[in-house]
Amino acid sequence: MIKKFFITGTDTNVGKTFVSSILLQKATAAGYQTAGYKPVSSGCKKEIYSLMNNDAMILKKNSSIKLSNQEVNPISFLESAPPHILSQLQKKTINIEDMSLGLENITKKSNWILIEGAGGWYTPLSNEKTFSDWVKKEQLTVIIIVGIKLGCINHAILTEKAIISEKIKCIGWIANNVLPYNQYNIYYIQTLLNYIKSPLLGTIPYLKNKNKINLEKIKIKLP
């Protein structure tokens, strides 16, 4: 059975890629053939034959199967701006069918796939379609990454309500401490436990050095 999960966040810069790298490592350790997929990205650097997004590079590095840059990130933009705006300015259409073809290709090679979105749940792909439309089309199961900081309670509640309203399965949420611990973090998480219907899969502590991770100390329930 092939497992496919879509990672969305309560906002941009909430640690979607960092948490995704941990999930990929844990799934690999559990014996899965894992693959990270970022269908659309912006804010890339130029390589010899293509553009490469840093988040996509991290997903590629933490996948257990070998994937090319194009397979991990088929649609990319050099500048750091919303993809749909860059798409319009550069007359480079973000084709949902291309996103689906990329996922289909990875599905042939992997049985545990983590798909990372861009920004939050309703990040536009065009003036007509958002990322949520593609997730619904592909019938993906969603994991919400909540960056624990001021404003996260409202954003998390709204995100889950939006997902559920579209009859998309949300398997759970992960609390990511994106800022150094403060006295209110535990209260943010406790409040979310009271409001969020989906289960808490785990909590990521604040890590100053994200290159040195002890997976055994990070308790996350692997979906």
Cβ burial 2-17 (10 Å sphere, 16+ → b, else e)? eebbbbbbbbeebbbb
For residue 134, report the phi and psi dihedrals to the nearest 5 degrees: -70, -40
Is 188 annotated to bind a ligand? Reply is no
77 is in an annotated binding site: no
CB neighbours of 165 closer than 8 A, spacing ≥ 6? Answer: none
Compute the distance between CA of residue 101 and CA of residue 159 in angstroms, rounded to an integer: 27
Q: Answer yes or no: is 138 a known binding residue.
A: no
Q: Is 207 annotated as a binding residue?
A: yes
Query: Distance between CA 8 and CA 131 in Å, rounded?
Result: 9
14 assigned binding-site residue: yes
Does the annotation flag 214 for ligand binding?
Answer: no
Indicate which residue of 4, 38, 60, 149 is catalytic: 38
**What are 185's two structure tokens?**
């973090």
Strand partners for 9? 120, 145
Residues with Cβ within 8 Å of residue 1, at least 6 apart in sequence: 111
Is position 18 annotated in a ligand binding site?
Answer: yes
Q: Which residue has the tokens 């861009």?
A: 118
Q: Is residue 172 part of an annotated ligand binding site?
A: no
Backbone φ and ψ for 144, nearest 5 degrees, come out as: -95, 130
The verdict on whether 38 is a catalytic residue reads: yes
What single DSSP character describes residue 218? S
Q: Answer for the pair 13, 178: CB distance below 8 angstroms, yes or no.
A: yes
Output the CA–CA distances (angstroms, integers) from residue 147 to 63, 111, 179, in the order listed: 23, 28, 9
Positions at the binding site for Mg(2+): 17, 55, 116
Positions at the binding site for ATP: 13-18, 55, 116-119, 176-177, 205-207
Positions at the binding site: 13-18, 42, 55, 116-119, 176-177, 205-207
Catalytic residues: 38
Positions at the binding site for substrate: 42
